[in-house]
């Protein structure tokens, strides 16, 4: 398979290239229990036979087993749940097959509105009796009322289930009483705190369904979930059969790992050329070649900047192609998103820079290439992104351009860590008390809680109910615990946020809503003086009110960016686990993290050089969470190096460890934080903390504790193998460091890690 011309032009950037040949299918016949009319609907779309995994999954569903289909992208997973659900609808009142005695209905849940809308378009509209409808935040009141009263196939998301359907289940009784099939699409997306919320929402759903006499089958689907049976069972709280052998045909694919070259910045520090700049060069070449390309960028700002840079380059060489490049990200209005999706499907757009809003299984047939700007946090996400190309059976290209980042640097030089390794375990903790408590309250408002419900909600349910009762939020009666307030209990849980309502970004001169930002990151992103980018346009934040949740901005033509500076302290609340490694200890437990944005740096956009610094007066934020930490005996640490070098060595080791943890858990460096010190008051020793960035923890730090030896060895290797002299973003320099990456000692970090690992 020849190298794509656009890649060949940049061959010196390619560290590793691998060709994956085409794969032939394993074919099975349709089972007899699927009605001929249902089969005919799929035959009309070309599916007159089944792939082997489709037949296996349908057989399990016919035996009334919950199923997770964990096969590759474009392997026909949607056919499984569509066929099972359409058969259930057709069975009607007959009581046979997948249906029961009541008029049947289907609930499809997707992690995003865009994916649900895409699935609606892909349903067989000619199916007799099918009445589908989406229920999401874009609905009008009339549309939602029609769905509630008439639809028998509702496409929604966990947010709507949590905030609308379950709290008002009496109004949705027709749908819930008839539920025969519930689809959980892209189930690998439910990780961390969001995954814990969704797991508890699904337990509430099953409880309400039982109340109405329904016992639906669950079909979970993912192209990239590790340990699918275990992950699905933890999400659902019930046994699940995994179907994992992909029997579908696949076109050939070329994957390439690209590393930008090193160069010296104006202040003499070695840095690599920005991955976004490299991606813009590659996207320009791909668009000129007529290659339909999707580029995934980690941040909203990065996606906007990449599209803008590409359009400028095209204006000089092919002005007629400028309007065929655009940006797609969260925060856009619904009509903006739908327009971009339609243009991409039709081929009108040749290049699209996107955040992970398009990472999920939206069917965009005909894409030729996917470029991932930086490792997206997990192997699962990388394969999911690359899988967007080649979905029409054509050969495809997947490229990962490494950012100046420890994990990216490790992966381009060790591609086997992606290409030859299983995807990461999906990590989430439904027993997190900060997640469990609000859902117990919501469940009690939906139906009185009884002791019989405790098993459904896990081992800490009784403790959680007791705490809610002591707080006066639940009251016990003979028939169970009741919600006492007139307020909605569901409002206690913000399932997608680290806490609080999103901050509204408003244009001061017009009052127009420009976008939103999560409350947990607002202090750092939209503080007064920050530069916020929306659709390629710079906005200067003129006023930020964290209490009111608003940021007022104005358009600005600037040549700089801003980055917040943060002061952080960590207090150990309770140590839960510990292991001794000679002079080192490895521990896991509960901590309290106090942080405050104290200022921001102003950097030249073209060089990255700091050109100014401004103070800020924002409130302290306290985060009770979980952490893993390692300590080193003081005498041993002092014998390794000059005491003045210890803080920089520990700081460098902390940064690199945070960068590497995503290889072991389904997180990225923005899900976790850290602190290092040569002497911590609670341990009395040199200590390095890595903590979850969510209240009560998300399971990431605990995963790090369980994999500590492998984690620290990979961290040490990344630092030692990096070609820079004193430390760079590819090893120990962090883009999120609240101390401006000072002090850092690259060589000292290797010495410290060697000492810790000596007795591992």
Q: Is the dihedral of CA 55, 59, 64, 67 positive or negative?
A: negative
pLDDT category at 1 given cuts 50, 70, 90 is low
Together in a domain, 239 and 269: no
The yes-or-no verdict on residue 96 having pLDDT over 50 is no
Residues in the chain: 760
Q: Looking at residue 330, what is its pLDDT?
A: 60
Determine which helix (DSSP H) or strand (DSSP E) holds 564, and give its type and residue range: strand 560-581
What are the residue ranges of helices labelled H in 253-351? 275-288, 300-317, 334-346
Q: What is the mean pLDDT of residues 617-640?
A: 95
Do the strands 217-221 and 179-184 form a parallel or antiparallel pair, or are they unpaired? parallel
Q: Which of 377 and 114 is assigned the larger pLDDT?
A: 114
Mean pLDDT of all residues in 616-626: 93
- Flag whether pLDDT at 534 surpasses 80: no
pLDDT > 80? residue 233: yes
Task: Tell me whether residue 74 is in a domain.
Answer: yes
pTM: 0.76
Show the domain range for 477: 435-492
Exposure b/e, 589-610, CB count within 10 A at least 16 = b: bbbebebbbebbbbbeeeebee
Q: Are residues 220 and 285 in the same domain?
A: no
Nearest to 531, CA basis, from 305, 266, 356, 273: 305
Of 492, 513, 528, the position where a domain reaches its end is 492
**Rounded Cα distance, 539 and 556, in Å:** 5
Residues 389 and 351 in one domain: yes
> Predicted confidence band at 699 (pLDDT cuts at 50, 70, 90)?
confident
User: Would the pLDDT of 663 be above 90?
Assistant: no
Q: Quote the tokens at residue 547.
A: 């209490």
- Report the C-alpha gap between 328 and 307 in whole angstroms: 10
Q: Rounded to an integer, what distance in angstroms lies between the CA atom of residue 113 and that of residue 199?
A: 19
pLDDT at 270: 67
Residue 82 forms part of a structural domain: yes
Instruction: Specify which of 74-83, 184-193, 664-673 reaches the highest per-range mean pLDDT.
Output: 74-83
pLDDT digit string (tens) for 490-506?
Answer: 999 888 765 557 889 99
Distance CA 15, CA 542 (A): 44
728 — pLDDT class (breaks 50, 70, 90): confident
pLDDT at 448: 97
Arithmetic mean of pLDDT, 583-593? 97
Same-domain pairing of 406 and 552: no
pLDDT for 418 equals 81
Collect all residues with Cβ–Cβ distance below 8 Å to 356 and sequence separation of at least 6. Answer: 296, 376, 381, 385
Strand segments (E) across 429-484: 474-477, 480-483
Q: What is the enclosing helix (H) or strand (E) of 708?
A: helix 708-721
Name the token pair of 596: 């405050």
Residue 127 predicted with pLDDT over 60: yes
**C-alpha to C-alpha distance for 121 and 700, rounded to whole angstroms:** 37
Average predicted confidence (pLDDT) for the chain:
89
Of 274 and 575, more confident: 575
For residues 281 and 101, the model is more confident at 281
If we measure between CA atoms, which residue out of 100, 105, 107 comes closest to residue 89?
Answer: 105
Is the predicted pLDDT of residue 359 greater than 80, yes or no?
A: no
What is the tens place of the pLDDT at every residue in 4-53? Answer: 999 999 999 999 999 999 889 999 999 999 999 999 999 998 899 999 99
Name residue 328's beta-bridge partners.
Answer: 354
398 to 15, 364, 617: CA distances (angstroms) = 14, 16, 45
Q: Measured on CA atoms in the order 752, 755, 757, 760, is the torsion positive or negative? A: negative
Sign of CA dihedral 236, 241, 247, 253: positive
Greater confidence (358 vs 608) lies with: 608
**Sign for the pseudo-dihedral over CA of 12, 15, 21, 23:** negative
- Inter-axis angle of helices 646-660 and 708-721, to 10 degrees? 110
The two three-digit tokens of residue 386, written as one number:
């690359």
Closest by alpha carbon to 206, among 221, 195, 217, 192?
Answer: 217
> Is the CB of residue 698 less than 8 Å from the CB of residue 690?
no
Helical (H) or strand (E) element with 172: none
CB of 718 closer than 8 Å to CB of 409? yes
DSSP state of 449: B
Question: 75-89, 511-525, 577-591: which has the minimum mean pLDDT?
Answer: 511-525
Model pLDDT, residue 251: 86
pLDDT tens sequence across 304-353 = 899 999 999 999 999 999 999 998 866 666 677 778 878 887 888 999 99
- Rounded mean pLDDT, 379-383: 78
Structure tokens at 66: 């919950």
Are both 370 and 459 inside the same structural domain? Answer: no
Nearest to 597 by CA among 571, 624, 564, 562: 564
Q: Are residues 261 and 224 in the same domain?
A: no
**Gyration radius from the chain CA atoms:** 26
Query: Which backbone phi and psi does 296 adopt, to 5 degrees?
Result: -95, 130
Is 362 within a domain? yes
CA 546 to chain centre: 25
Task: Tell whether 129 and 237 lie within a shared domain.
Answer: yes
Q: Look at residue 421 in the predicted model and tell me its pLDDT.
A: 62
Q: Which of 11-20, 445-454, 618-627, 658-667 has the lowest mean pLDDT?
A: 658-667
pLDDT at residue 641 greater than cutoff 60: yes
User: 392, 419, 446: which is the final residue of a domain?
Assistant: 419
pLDDT band (50, 70, 90) for residue 424: low
**What gap in Å lies between CA 728 and CA 744, rounded to an integer?**
10
- Give the C-alpha separation, 724 to 334, whole Å: 45
In a domain? residue 29: no
Residues 153 and 257 in one domain: no
- State residue 125 phi and psi, 5-degree precision: -65, -20
Last residue of a domain, one of 558, 580, 595: 558
544 and 584 assigned to the same domain: no
Tell me if 28 is assigned to some domain. no
CA distance 287 to 700: 39
Q: What is the mean pLDDT of residues 82-105?
A: 74
Residue 17 covered by a domain: no
Q: How far apart are the C-alpha atoms of 507 and 493, rounded to whole Å?
A: 29
Residue 497 lies in a domain: no
Residues 306, 409 within the same domain: yes
pLDDT surpasses 70 at 464:
yes
- According to DSSP H, which parts of 487-605 are helical? 519-525
Q: What pLDDT does 648 receive?
A: 96
* Cα–Cα distance for residue pair 34/56, rounded to 1 Å: 14
Cα 635 to Cα 584: distance, rounded to the nearest angstrom: 11
Residue 425 lies in a domain: no
* Integer Cα distance of 263 and 606 in angstroms: 13
Q: Check residue 478 and give its pLDDT.
A: 92
Number of domains in the chain: 5
The pLDDT confidence band at residue 633, using thresholds 50, 70 and 90, is: very high
pLDDT at 423: 59
pLDDT at residue 93, as a whole number: 45
Position 683 pLDDT exceeds 90: yes
Is the same domain home to 149 and 54? Answer: yes
**Cβ atoms of 248 and 254 closer than 8 Å:** no
Cis? peptide before 743, omega within 30° of 0: yes
Q: Percent of the chain having pLDDT more than 90?
A: 62
Q: How far is CA 664 from CA 127, 373, 618, in A?
A: 44, 20, 34
For residues 705 and 669, the model is more confident at 705
| Same domain, yes or no: 180 and 317 | no
| pLDDT score at 496 | 79
Q: What percent of the chain has pLDDT over 70?
A: 93
Between 11 and 72, the more confident residue is: 11
Residue 465 in contact with residue 449, Cβ under 8 Å? yes
Quote the pLDDT of residue 403.
86
CATH (domain of 343): 3.40.50.300
Contact 424, 448 (CB under 8 A): no
For residue 748, the number of C-alpha atoms closer than 13 Å in the C-beta half-sphere is 21
């Amino acid at each position: 398979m020849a190298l794509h011309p656009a890649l060949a032009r940049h061959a010196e950037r390619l560290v590793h290239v691998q060709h994956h040949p085409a794969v032939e299918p394993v074919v099975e016949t349709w089972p007899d229990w699927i009605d001929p009319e249902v089969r005919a609907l799929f035959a009309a779309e070309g599916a007159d036979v089944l792939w082997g995994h489709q037949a296996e999954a349908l057989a399990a569903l016919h035996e009334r087993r919950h199923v997770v289909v964990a096969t590759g992208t474009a392997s026909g997973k949607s056919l499984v749940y569509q066929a099972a659900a359409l058969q259930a609808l057709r069975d009607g009142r007959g009581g046979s097959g997948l249906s029961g005695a009541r008029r049947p209905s289907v609930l499809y849940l997707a992690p995003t509105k865009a994916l649900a809308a895409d699935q609606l378009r892909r349903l067989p509209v000619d199916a007799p009796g099918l009445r589908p409808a989406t229920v999401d935040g874009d609905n009008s009141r009339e549309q939602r009322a029609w769905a509630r009263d008439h639809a028998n196939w509702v496409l929604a998301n966990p947010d709507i289930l949590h905030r609308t359907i379950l709290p008002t289940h009496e109004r949705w009784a027709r749908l819930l009483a008839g539920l025969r099939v519930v689809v959980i699409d892209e189930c690998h997306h439910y990780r961390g705190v969001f995954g814990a919320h969704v797991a508890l929402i699904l337990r509430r759903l099953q409880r309400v369904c039982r109340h109405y006499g329904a016992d639906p089958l669950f079909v979970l689907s993912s192209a990239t979930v590790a340990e699918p049976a275990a992950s699905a069972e933890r999400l659902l709280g019930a046994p699940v059969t995994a179907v994992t052998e992909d029997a579908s045909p696949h076109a050939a694919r070329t994957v390439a790992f690209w590393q930008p070259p090193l160069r010296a910045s104006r202040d003499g520090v070695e840095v690599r050329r920005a991955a976004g700049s490299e991606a813009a060069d590659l996207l320009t070449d791909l668009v000129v070649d007529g290659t339909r390309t999707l580029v995934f960028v980690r941040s909203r700002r990065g996606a906007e900047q990449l599209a803008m840079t590409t359009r400028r380059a095209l204006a000089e060489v092919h002005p007629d192609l400028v309007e065929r490049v655009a940006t797609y990200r969260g925060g856009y209005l619904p009509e903006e998103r739908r327009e971009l999706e339609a243009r991409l499907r039709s081929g009108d757009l040749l290049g699209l820079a996107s955040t992970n809003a398009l990472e999920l299984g939206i069917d965009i047939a005909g894409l030729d290439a996917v470029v991932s700007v930086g490792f997206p946090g997990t192997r699962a996400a990388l394969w999911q992104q690359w899988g967007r190309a080649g979905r029409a059976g054509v050969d495809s290209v997947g490229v990962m351009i490494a950012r100046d980042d420890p994990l990216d640097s490790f992966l381009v030089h060790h591609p086997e860590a992606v290409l030859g390794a299983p995807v990461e375990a999906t990590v989430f903790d439904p027993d997190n008390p900060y997640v469990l408590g609000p859902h117990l309250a919501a469940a009690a408002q939906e139906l009185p809680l009884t002791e019989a419900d405790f098993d459904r909600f896990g081992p800490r349910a009784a403790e959680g109910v007791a705490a809610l009762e002591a707080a006066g939020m639940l009251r016990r009666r003979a028939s169970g615990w009741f919600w006492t307030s007139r307020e909605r209990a569901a409002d206690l849980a913000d399932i997608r946020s680290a806490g609080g309502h999103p901050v509204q970004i408003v244009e001061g001169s017009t009052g127009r809503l420009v976008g939103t930002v999560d409350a947990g990151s607002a202090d750092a992103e939209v503080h007064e003086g920050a530069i916020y980018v929306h659709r390629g346009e710079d906005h200067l934040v003129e006023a930020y009110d964290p209490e009111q949740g608003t940021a007022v901005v104005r358009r600005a033509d600037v040549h700089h960016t801003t980055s917040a500076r943060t002061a952080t302290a960590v207090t150990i609340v309770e140590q839960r686990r510990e292991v001794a490694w000679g002079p080192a200890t490895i521990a896991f437990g509960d901590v309290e993290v106090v942080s405050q944005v104290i200022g921001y740096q102003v950097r030249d956009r073209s060089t990255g050089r700091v050109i100014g610094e401004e103070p800020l007066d924002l409130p302290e934020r306290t985060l009770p969470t979980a952490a893993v930490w390692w300590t080193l005996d003081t005498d041993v640490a002092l014998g390794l190096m000059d005491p003045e070098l210890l803080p920089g060595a520990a700081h460098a080791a902390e940064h690199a460890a945070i960068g590497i943890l995503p290889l072991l858990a389904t997180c990225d460096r923005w899900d976790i934080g850290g602190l290092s010190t040569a002497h911590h008051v609670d341990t009395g020793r040199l200590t390095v903390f890595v903590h979850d960035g969510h209240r009560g923890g998300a399971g990431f730090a605990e995963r790090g504790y369980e994999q500590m030896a492998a984690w620290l060895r990979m961290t040490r290797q990344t630092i030692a193998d990096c070609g820079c002299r004193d430390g760079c973003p590819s090893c120990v320099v962090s883009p999120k460091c609240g101390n401006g990456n000072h002090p850092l000692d690259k060589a000292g970090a290797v010495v410290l890690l060697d000492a810790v690992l000596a007795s591992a």
